């Protein structure tokens, strides 16, 4: 049976095949298009689990057709949810159609049932399972790259069970190989195979095999690599962060490991760190570096504990942000500017790829102060990382791809969007500086973004399209949205106060009145998000009025939110 390289992020099954060839790695949540059509069909396994578990076996074994005795690793995030399941499963309805973040099959089942069912499905196919327990998304991807024979790594693939940033009862699967996460077409292919095998399993006739289940503490392996990176940057000093007070806010997600497994071994004081225990109900705040309450929580923790630095992670630790000792937030444009400064010191002149809603001030900072090139691309970290990979393939050097959401990937780290690795890059800078001046704190980081122009007013306003409105004339919301954008372009071209961006990859981006706006069409929803940045509220209102005037004749577009912004 042919070996299949199948990797998963967060909560994953990973399989090892020493004969496979390595390809260029990609970020963990990417959807690399695998040639699933050429994969051999799964054979030789009788699927015998009953009720809800049965279809899970067909799902896992249908696609993960590894060579017999391949090693497979598994990780499961904590969570509780007891939801009844249906007797009959329509597999093709299980796919999440909104793939802006990751390839996922959503299933409403308790986590342990999912874990046991998928483990049974893989071992019944004759493959070994490595159970990782609680792990971060980047760590699960990284386990397909780690060379550690003792712990059965690297793994060929993974299946992660997680609800990610969604409510605790929305557990699903993330699938990965060393080439990245699976895309929509791959997930559809898995479900089609599962549907066929589900029907075939009713007839029986195939004998189950038995694989071995092994528990592996992979998070310690992953964390040790992060610790080693910081020590190396400080000339192999054992405790390069000794004397530094760093607090962590894990938001009750999977990032609590960073305190005990990374910061403490490096000598940092971590008292005041908060919300380190996983809790899928997120009782304290949403674990999101873009969330106002979350950033207020870590900022207050820094100030209350007189800490040198604060670090905050999202649920899966593929995003992060920081706060300096004065309480200044280092997220969004500021974090991109900081990472750009660090990367451009290492790779002068390199191109920094970002999403479409980054500021004009960031462009000026990267190009005029740092001497780099800013390539503003589309919204969505997958798009940003793919574009950086494409630029390198085309001969244009790029070492950093980053989105304002806190997703950031570096070429040196296999284009994996890893929030912990981003923070390690900051710690490397701190550790290196402290070898020269033991008393230096986070000011060394703050100084790196000196000169970045921050907008006084920033806003994102969502303009909804009423799909049932007669103005659509039976057409799609996408066609209607495109006609709005086209009309806006025509109007802007006649306004002497506004200038359309000469190079733009998404929507309509316009500068004027000392600021800018971007109106674009959502990939999945009947919504036109409008981003506005300006140096004053008056200027922001002028930009908003320009959009309102240009879109007023489109009666199916709900401009209530824009009107509310203009009246504030």
Q: Convert the pLDDT of each residue in 42-66 to its tens digit.
A: 332 222 122 222 223 323 322 232 3
In order of 53, 118, 119, 393, the CA distances from 49 in angstroms are 5, 10, 11, 46
**Dist. CA 334–CA 330, nearest whole Å:** 5
Which secondary-structure segment (H or E) carries 519? strand 515-519
DSSP class of 547:
H
The predicted structure's pLDDT at residue 113: 82
pLDDT digits (tens, 9 = 90+) for 107-156: 445 677 888 888 888 888 888 888 888 889 899 888 888 899 888 888 88
Pairing of strands 499-500, 373-376: unpaired
Instruction: Return the top range by mean pLDDT from 125-129, 169-173, 551-555.
Output: 551-555
Domains of the chain and CATH, by start: 97-194+208-217 (3.40.120.10), 332-405 (3.40.120.10), 457-567 (3.30.310.50)
Q: Characterize the bridge pairing of strands 31-32 and 180-182.
A: parallel
Q: What is the pLDDT of residue 461?
A: 98
Q: What is the pLDDT of residue 560?
A: 97
Phi, psi angles (nearest 5°) of residue 364: -65, -40
Contact at 8 Å (CB) between 263 and 271?
no
pLDDT at 292 over 70: yes
Query: What is the model's pLDDT at position 564?
Result: 97
Q: How confident is the model at residue 378 (pLDDT cuts 50, 70, 90)?
A: very high
- Give the model's confidence band at 167: pLDDT under 50 very low, under 70 low, under 90 confident, else very high: confident
Average pLDDT over residues 285-291: 93
Strands annotated E in 398-483 = 398-402, 408-410, 457-465
- Candidates 411, 427, 416, 423; CA nearest to 138 is 416
Three-class DSSP category at 325: coil
Is residue 379 pLDDT above 90, yes or no? yes
| 3-class SS of residue 293 | helix
Average pLDDT along the chain: 82
Which has more pLDDT, 308 or 152? Answer: 308
- pTM, two decimals, is 0.82
Q: What angle do CA 8, 14, 18 make, to 5 degrees?
A: 125
Residue 15 DSSP SS3: coil
The strand pairing partners of 198, in sequence order, are none
Average pLDDT estimate for 173-181: 82
Q: How far apart are CA 56 and CA 77, in angstroms?
A: 18
Distance of CA 61 to the CA centre of its chain: 27
- Nearest CA-CA partner of 13 in 122, 163, 151: 122
- Residue 154, preceding peptide bond in cis (omega within 30° of 0): yes
- Cα angle for residues 299, 300, 304 (degrees, 5° grid): 125
Query: Mean per-residue pLDDT for 249-263?
Result: 97
Q: What is the pLDDT of residue 209?
A: 77
């Amino acid at each position: 049976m042919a070996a299949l390289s199948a990797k998963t992020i967060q909560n994953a099954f990973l399989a090892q095949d020493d004969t496979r060839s390595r390809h260029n790695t990609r970020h963990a949540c990417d959807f690399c298009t695998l040639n699933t059509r050429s994969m051999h069909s799964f054979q030789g396994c009788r699927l015998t689990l009953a009720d809800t578990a049965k279809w899970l076996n067909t799902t896992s074994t249908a696609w993960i057709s590894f060579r017999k005795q391949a090693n497979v690793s598994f990780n499961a995030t904590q969570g509780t949810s007891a939801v009844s399941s249906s007797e009959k499963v329509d597999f093709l309805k299980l796919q999440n159609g909104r793939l802006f973040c990751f390839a996922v099959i959503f299933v409403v089942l308790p986590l342990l049932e999912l874990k046991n069912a998928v483990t049974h499905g893989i071992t019944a196919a004759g493959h070994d399972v490595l159970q990782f327990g609680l792990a971060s998304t980047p760590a699960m991807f990284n386990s397909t790259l780690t060379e550690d024979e003792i712990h059965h790594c690297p793994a060929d693939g993974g299946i992660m069970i997680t609800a990610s940033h969604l409510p605790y009862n929305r557990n699903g699967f993330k699938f990965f190989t060393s080439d990245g996460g699976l895309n929509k077409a791959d997930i559809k292919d898995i479900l089609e195979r599962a549907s066929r095998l589900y029907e075939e399993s009713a007839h029986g006739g195939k004998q189950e095999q038995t694989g071995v289940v092994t528990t592996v503490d992979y998070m310690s392996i992953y964390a040790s690599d992060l610790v080693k990176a910081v020590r190396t940057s400080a000339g192999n000093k054992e405790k390069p962060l000794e004397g530094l007070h760093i607090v962590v806010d894990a938001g009750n997600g999977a990032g609590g490991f960073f305190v005990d497994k990374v910061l403490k071994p490096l000598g940092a004081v971590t008292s005041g760190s908060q919300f380190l225990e996983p809790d899928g109900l997120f009782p304290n705040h949403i674990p999101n570096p873009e969330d106002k309450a979350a950033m207020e929580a870590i900022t207050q923790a820094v100030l209350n504990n007189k800490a040198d630095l604060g670090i905050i992670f999202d649920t899966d630790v593929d995003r992060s942000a920081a706060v300096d000792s004065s309480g200044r937030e280092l997220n969004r444009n500021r974090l991109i500017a900081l990472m750009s400064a660090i990367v451009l010191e290492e790779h002068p002149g390199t191109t920094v790829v970002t999403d479409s809603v980054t500021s004009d001030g960031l462009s000026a900072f990267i190009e005029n102060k740092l001497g780099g090139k800013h390539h503003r691309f589309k919204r969505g970290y997958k798009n940003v990382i793919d574009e950086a990979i494409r630029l390198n393939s085309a001969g244009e050097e790029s070492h950093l791809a980053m989105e304002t959401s806190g997703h950031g990937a570096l070429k040196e780290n296999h284009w994996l969007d890893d929030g912990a690795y981003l923070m390690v890059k900051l710690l490397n800078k701190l550790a290196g500086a402290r070898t020269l001046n033991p008393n230096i704190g986070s000011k060394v980081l703050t100084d790196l973004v000196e000169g970045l122009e921050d907008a006084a007013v920033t806003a994102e306003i969502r303009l909804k399209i009423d799909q049932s409105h007669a103005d659509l004339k039976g057409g799609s919301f996408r066609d209607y949205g495109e006609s709005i954008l086209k009309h806006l372009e025509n109007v802007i071209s006649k306004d002497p106060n506004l200038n359309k961006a000469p190079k733009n990859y998404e929507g309509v981006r316009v500068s004027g009145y000392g600021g800018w706006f971007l109106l674009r069409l959502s990939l999945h929803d009947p919504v036109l998000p409008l981003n506005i940045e300006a140096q004053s509220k008056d200027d922001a209102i002028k930009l908003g009025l320009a959009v309102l005037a240009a879109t007023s004749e489109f009666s199916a577009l709900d401009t209530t939110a824009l009107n509310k912004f203009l009246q504030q």
